[in-house]
Each structure stands twice: as C-alpha cells, then as structure tokens.
Amino acid sequence: MENTNTNSTEQESMGDTKKYTVTVVGVGLIGGSMALALKEKGFAGKVIGVEKSETHRQKALQLGLVDEVWNMEEAITQSDIIILSVPVGVCMEVLPGILNKIDRQVVIDVGSTKQGLIEIVSGHPKRGRFVATHPMWGTEYSGPEAAVKGAFAGKANVICNKHESDADAVELIEKLYRTLGMYLVYMNAADHDVHVAYVSHISHITSFALANTVLEKEKEEDAIFELASAGFESTVRLAKSNPAMWVPVFMQNRENVLDVLNEHISQLRKFKACLEKENTEYLQELIENANKIRKIIK
C-alpha cells in the first residue's frame, strides 16, 4: 500500500481548467454526491445521468444532481468519464458491455468489492480504459435524496490494480479524486477485499444483527425509543443500509466476510464465557485489549 498526498492546488495553478463531461450510472447516494461534488469543484462541465428508475431520474433532475438524462449508449458517446455507481452485481453485468462501446473514455466503478469485477474484464481489449476505485465514504441512506454536498473530502480513495489501467486513464481519475479532496491509496484487488471485510463489511453485519436482536427480543418499542442512547444509535445506524447494495457486496466478498464473521462470533463467545463464569479478570483483559483500538481510531 502506498499513499500520495493531494496536489490539486499545484495543478490548478498550472492553469489546468479543462472541464469534463461526466456520466453517472446510478444516481443514488454515491453517484449523486459525486455529481454534486464534481460540478461544485468545476471538474465536470456537464453531468449526465443514466438511471433505470423513472422516479430516481425525475428526482435527480429536480435536485440538480445531473444536468441531463440519457440512455447508456448516448451518454457514453458524449462523455469523457463514466462513473458506475450501481450495486456491484449490476456493475459486473454492465461493465463489459460499456467497455465494448468506448474508445478514448475512461470508466470507473466505486463499489465495495473489487476482485470479482476486475476478473470479469481481465483480458478485455479495453481493460486499460477501466480504473477500479473505491472512495471510502458513505452513509446508511440511499437514493438521489441521500446525495449530499461536501462528501468525500478528507477520506481515502483506493485505486486497485493500477498497472492494469492505461497511464492516462489513471492520471485522469487521480485528478478527479484529488479534486474531491480525497487522498489516494493503491492496493491490489485481493488485499482490498480482505481489508474492507474488516473495516466496513463486518461493521454492517454486526449492525444488521444488532438491530434484529433488539427487534426480536425487545417488544417494547417505546422503551427503545425513549432510552436509546447515542451509543446504541451509533452501533445500530448502519442497520438502515440498503439491502440492494449490501446483499451483492456480502456475496461477492463472502469468503473474507465469513473469515471475519467467524472470528467475531468467537470474540463474542469469550465475552459470553466471562459472564457465565463470572470471570471479571478475563473480562477486564478483553476490554483492555479492545481499548487498543484507540491507537488506530482517534
């Protein structure tokens, strides 16, 4: 893993003010927020939306997330950059077809798993025009109305298997993410998928399972509502996340997620054993060990 610092100021001072036409395929939380940010920063002169839901199309235009709405074919022709911000399963279905149709354009995805997608286009004659990226930002909400201004800034964007993409394509996409105020991290797809199982996917599973635990056993919803502290809200908020996005992510990354989930269940069993045996010393140790996360998460 190597990092680079943002460098947009230097580029701006070099008078690089070219504005790009950007197509966003799937105008929801990530695609919509990216559209807003690229226009606000002056990177995109025009944003075209490709969106299969009629409601979302209307909403995206009405909220000013996109300037125009086109079908995929026409949007590709008009664009410099195509951003795939659809669930990873859909991404895997449409990416080869998009690569068939492009020439000078650059295509990126913004999904949470990388290995499967990259394998699908491995050996494609236009593989070089595709850059696999994962901006590490999101919320538990979805759809065009979930799009927010000022997203992404200060967060990491991962670029996977950089050397399989054309140098000019990578350079353009690095510029795009730096314009959003993100710092760049480079990884191979397999490592990426292991790491995100730890720093993102397992958090979603524990949160979904925690919500189901409370909904199953705590029938007095009023009590939850009245008493829920900030601590509960923060551990359970990801449970509002959209299954259309997360089912394919978990399935794509199932082996890594299963590894982490097995470890997590075994860690929970240690807490259970402490309580059953009233072993306060070991409980103290487990919590002290958990406190080491302070070194990593400030």
Rounded to a whole number of angstroms, the minimum distance from the CB of residue 167 to a second copy is: 24
Nearest C-alpha neighbor of 152 from the set 65, 6, 37, 2: 37
DSSP class per residue in 155-168? SEEEEESGGGS-HH
Rounded to a whole number of angstroms, the minimum distance from the CB of residue 231 to a second copy is: 5
Rounded to a whole number of angstroms, the minimum distance from the CB of residue 143 to a second copy is: 13
Task: Report how far residue 245's alpha carbon sits from residue 30's, in angstroms, rounded to the nearest whole number.
Answer: 11
Of residues 62 and 262, the one with the C-beta less far from a second copy: 262
Of residues 79 and 113, the one with the C-beta less far from a second copy: 113
Of residues 167 and 199, the one with the C-beta less far from a second copy: 199
* Beta-carbon count within 10 A of 268 CB: 11
Of residues 164 and 191, the one with the C-beta less far from a second copy: 191
Of residues 39 and 201, the one with the C-beta less far from a second copy: 201
Question: Measured between alpha carbons, how far is residue 87 from residues 73, 156, 257 in Å?
Answer: 20, 20, 17
Of residues 185 and 189, the one with the C-beta less far from a second copy: 185
* Beta-carbon count within 10 A of 80 CB: 17
Rounded to a whole number of angstroms, the minimum distance from the CB of residue 92 to a second copy is: 14
Rounded to a whole number of angstroms, the minimum distance from the CB of residue 64 to a second copy is: 25
Rounded to a whole number of angstroms, the minimum distance from the CB of residue 266 to a second copy is: 8
Paired tokens of 112: 């949470």
Exposure b/e, 35-55, CB count within 10 A at least 16 = b? bbbbbeeebbebbbbbbeeee
Of residues 14 and 230, the one with the C-beta less far from a second copy: 230
CA 151 to chain centre: 12
Task: Report how far residue 268's alpha carbon sits from residue 286's, in angstroms, rounded to the nearest whole number.
Answer: 10
Rounded to a whole number of angstroms, the minimum distance from the CB of residue 241 to a second copy is: 8
Q: Which residues contact 245 (CB under 8 A, 6 or more apart)?
A: 87, 112, 142
